[in-house]
Structure formats: C-alpha cells, structure tokens
Amino acid sequence: MKIALAQINYHIGNFESNKQKILDSVKKAEKEGADIVVFAELAVSGYPPRDFLEFRDFVNQCNDTLQEIAAACTETAAIIGVPTYNTEPKGKPLYNSAAFVYKGKVQQLIHKTLLPNYDIFDEYRYFEPNIKFETVSFKGKKLAVTICEDLWNVQDNPLYRINPMDHLIKQNPDMIINIAASPFNYKQAEIREDVLRKNALKYRLPLFYVNHVGAQTELLFDGGSLAMNSKGEVVREMAWFEEDFAVFDTGEVESAANIQAPQHPGAIARIHDALIMGIKNYFGKLGFNKAILGLSGGIDSAVTSVLAAKALGNENVYNVLLPSQYSSEHSVTDSLNLVKNLNMPHDIIPIKKSYDALDETLKPYFKNLPFNIAEENLQARIRGVILMALSNKFGYILLNTSNKSEAAVGYGTLYGDMNGGLSVLGDVYKTQVYQLARYINRENGIIPENIITKPPSAELRPGQKDTDSLPEYAILDTILYEYIENRKGPKEIVAMGYDKKLVDRILKMVNLNEYKRYQTPPILRVSTKAFGMGRRMPIVARYLS
C-alpha cells in the first residue's frame, strides 16, 4: 500500500484556503499513485481553533468543508482531522475526529481518546473523549488511526489511565497512522521521535506520522512528519518549518535497511528558523507585510531586526532610532551600521524635545522629587508613543524586542518598550539572544561586533548598565530556567549552589511582575514553558512575593 503524508501550513478558520490545499494534495497523491493521503489533526479548521469551537456556525463550516473534500476523494482515500458533533445525550458537544473518506463520502470517523489539558493544550474544554476503538479496514489492510496525544501515554510518567493502542492492537492492525498537531519547542523533535519509537517497538508495527507546519499566532509547528518501521527506525523524516509531501510504500518502509538516523540542527539553529517562520506567518495570515521597531543599538533590537528582515524582506522592516540625551554615540552608529549592512529603511527621531516638554508639564506635579524611575519610564513611553503613531499612520505592525529574561523579572516599561503587536524574543533568554546573534553572524558580520560585545544598557540615565539592577545574565538565566521551565522552588534552586538572597530576590521579581506580562503582546513560543497561554499565574498572589 502507498501512503502519502501531506504536511501543510493551515490557517485557522480559513476554510477555503485549507480546503484548496487539501484538495491539491489529494490530486497530487492520485497522480503519484498513492492509495491514501493523510492530513494533520484538525486540518480543516486549523489548530488550535480555541473558542471558535463554541460557535455552531464554525463547526458547521468545518463539516460542510469536509463534505466538499470527501466528494473529491473518489480514487484515493484520505484521513483528515476535523471537529465533529457528539450526538450522544451526555458529554461535551464535540469530538476531535479523524475522518476516513473514500469513494466520495465519509466512510468512518475515529475520535481522539486522550485529550491534553496542560501547558498550551486545552482540549477537554471542548471535546468528549472517545470510548470506542475500531481500526479502519482498507484494501485488505487494517489501519490503527490515532490522533496526536493518543500515542503519548507511553512515557515514564503516564498522564492517562488508558492507552488507545492497547485496545486497537487486539484487532491486529497492519500499521499505525497518527495525525498530529505537535507544537514546536527546541527540545520537542527528540521527545516526539522517542514517543513514536516506543509505540513502533511496543506494538511491532510501522508508523506513519503527519504533523502541522507553520505558525498560529504564538504557537509554532515545525513539521517533521515521518515514516518509521517496526524496529523504531526513522525511514524518512520530512522537512522542518516548511510544507512538504511524500509518498511511502509500506512494504519498502518495513524492509528498509542501513537506515541512518535523521540529523537535527542544534537548539539555536532551530530557534532561529522557528522565529523567522513565526514572524512570516503572523504577518502573512493577518494580511500585513511591513514591520516597524525601535532600533536601540542593543543586541535584542538588532537580532529582532535581522530576523524580521529574513522573514519579510529587508525593505519591509522600518528601523526607527530614538536617541535621548542619555544615549551613547555608539548606540546610534552601531544601529546605522546594522541598517546599512542589510539596506533597511530607517529614520532617526531624537526624543529630547518631547521629553523636555513632558518633564516641564509634570514638574509642578512631581513635587521637586529627585530623578528616578518615573523619568526613566517617561523616555521609554515617549518612544512607544512615536512607534505606535508611525504604526498607525502607515499600517505597520510594531515588533516588541524584549527578551525572556527581561520579561521574567519585569525589566521593561509598560506602554513603552513593552509595546508591540508581536513579541519576537519574549521566549528567548538573554544568553540565548547572544547565541542567536553569533549564529546570524556565522557566515558574515551582519550584526556589528560592538553590538554583541558591549555591556547591555537601557540608557535611561547616565552610565546605566543592566547589571545595576540585575545579576549577570548567565546566573540570572540559569535561575530563571530552573524556576520557569523546571518548576523548581527556592529551596531546590539554593540546593544547586545559588545564594539564597539572590534566589529569593529573583523569584520575587518574577512573581511580582506577572501583571506586566499579562499585558504583553503574543510571544512566539520556542521553549518548553513560555509566558502566555501555557503559563497561567494569578496576578494578586503572595507566593514567593
């Protein structure tokens, strides 16, 4: 049997576009002699549709679109992810389903059993879990069709009491087919491959896996669809971060010999490619093509600018230099060298006149109190006002340049440098930003060396350095990683050898600044625990604060 895997970049709620991409792949599968073509989880709607699923009109359009697709599947069968109605009198209103279509109609629906309800996943909010297990019989073969999480209960810490494949294996299937929506993080590929391998080995079956690719707001999908034989060997892995299509002969997959394990790029290379895809898709799916950002002469704005240029084209990234009376000369010259290297549009708009005007206006009301964070934040907010005005005037999306370290401890100004329509580096620690800069410069020095090597500074007062307020980033980021990603408490982190006062101070800053993160733009997710939808913390709380 020949199985085609269609790895597609879907667009949530864009039924016409999703339908056309699916139909194009069906035609391609027919042309290449495939018996069946497999599409990803919730392919018709895009993933995750979230509360669109509460609208009957949305679900009806999903099912109407499925019927149109099914009508075209006359010679080649297809497996397509789609939300369907639960017609039973009890339970959640919907199923997360895989539709098996052939000979112009839906022949069978397979429902998802294990519904993830952690981190960025919220499926039990909408879907009823499956309790009936049936293989799909097709051309003399039995297909064990599963949906993403249905294969994930083989890890050392199982979250569920049942395992769908334990039921399906009793029907003697010939292969496992898994349709998935597995979001990217820089560790996910190895974890995912290990999960799939455990299934192939446990059930002694070849496995065909198809994943989403592309960005859906903050969620990034890396693709990496694959075919694996019953010995757990990856016969072929499909492309990362781009659409792909491949046809596999099941016999050849199972008999393949001398297989080389896929070679994956390092974490920073993955983050680099994922962020470029995230920017490109965010703009493209919203119908925008031009970005604006404040270019400060620091490493965060420089890396953001380069990533945006790679995603949108150099000519579509407008860099605005906003020096104040406290800005160093090299901040301007370094920024000018960067825009020159990439031939990007730019302007210099000094903010001293605006600052002086507001300072004069506020002087009677500041009660002769000394210069402090109020005046520092005033500069950042003036920059925010200017950038948003230009964004409004010309229809640009403002890119936020804050990194994860800053966002974690609240080292940023609300309605100032925390402005933006999209946060590019909000899930990238400062130490990783430096690694990204080195990776960008691996072939030629796009980012001026001085931007990478000079001490980081907000330049909101004379001689200011980040280390005036924060510990060295190498120490800060390690402690933040243990708290945020690994969910370790203060005693556990101190036991690793860190100073108790420092740990308590950092964790307090993280928790006190939840209110700031609550108001930030969407953050492109590249880690195992990003700020945003996957990390839900109370604002008015006293834990560690």
Q: What is the pLDDT of residue 459?
A: 64
Distance (Å, whole) CA 144 – CA 136: 7
Q: What is the pLDDT of residue 330?
A: 82
Question: What's the 3-state SS for 390-449?
Answer: HHHHHCCEEEECCCHHHHHHCCCCCCCCCCCCEECCCCCCHHHHHHHHHHHCCCCCCCCH
Query: What are the strands, taking DSSP E only, across 291-362?
Result: 291-294, 317-321, 346-348
Other Cβ atoms less than 10 A from the Cβ of 285: the count is: 19
For residues 239 and 7, is the Cβ–Cβ distance under 8 A? yes
User: Could you tell me the maximum CA-CA distance found in the chain, to the nearest angstrom?
Assistant: 86
Could you tell me the end-to-end alpha-carbon distance of the chain, in angstroms, rounded to an integer?
A: 60
Distance (Å, whole) CA 56 – CA 58: 5
Which of the residues are catalytic? 41, 112, 148
Distance (Å, whole) CA 30 – CA 20: 15
Distance (Å, whole) CA 103 – CA 106: 8
- Per the document, the length of the chain is 545
- Three-class secondary structure of residue 67 per DSSP: helix
Distance (Å, whole) CA 281 – CA 350: 33
Structure confidence by residue, pLDDT tens digits, 453-470: 988 776 667 777 777 778
- State the sign of the Cα–Cα–Cα–Cα dihedral 249, 251, 256, 262: positive
Structure confidence by residue, pLDDT tens digits, 501-510: 999 999 999 9
For residues 483 and 534, is the Cβ–Cβ distance under 8 A? no
Q: How many CA atoms lie within 13 A of 399 on its CB side?
A: 37
Q: Among candidates 334, 203, 211, 216, which has minimal Cα distance to 281?
A: 216
- Three-class secondary structure of residue 3 per DSSP: strand
The one-digit pLDDT tens for each residue of the chain (545 residues) are 999 999 999 999 999 999 999 999 999 999 999 999 999 999 999 999 999 999 999 999 999 999 999 999 999 999 999 999 999 999 999 999 999 999 999 999 999 999 999 999 999 999 999 999 999 999 999 999 999 999 999 988 889 999 999 999 999 999 999 999 999 999 999 999 999 999 999 999 999 999 999 999 999 999 999 999 999 999 999 999 999 999 999 999 998 888 888 889 999 999 999 999 999 999 999 999 999 999 999 999 999 999 999 999 999 999 999 998 877 778 899 999 999 999 999 999 999 999 999 999 999 999 999 999 999 999 999 999 999 999 999 999 999 999 999 999 999 999 999 999 999 999 999 999 999 999 999 988 999 999 999 887 766 677 777 777 789 999 999 999 999 999 999 999 999 999 999 999 999 999 999 999 999 999 999 999 999 999 999 999 999 98
Distance (Å, whole) CA 474 – CA 283: 33
Q: Among candidates 391, 396, 511, 376, which has minimal Cα distance to 457?
A: 376
Q: In what order do the strands lie in the sheet with 291-294?
A: 346-348, 317-321, 291-294, 397-400, 422-423
For residues 412 and 531, is the Cβ–Cβ distance under 8 A? no
Distance (Å, whole) CA 90 – CA 301: 53
Q: Among candidates 383, 373, 384, 433, which has minimal Cα distance to 404?
A: 433
Backbone angles phi, psi at 61, to 5 degrees: -65, -35
Backbone angles phi, psi at 109, to 5 degrees: -115, 130
Please report the domains of the chain, with CATH numbers, ordered by start residue: 2-258 (3.60.110.10), 270-517 (3.40.50.620)
Distance (Å, whole) CA 528 – CA 484: 9
Q: What is the pLDDT of residue 54?
A: 98
Q: What is the pLDDT of residue 324?
A: 87
Helix 299-312 × helix 329-342 angle, to 10° = 20
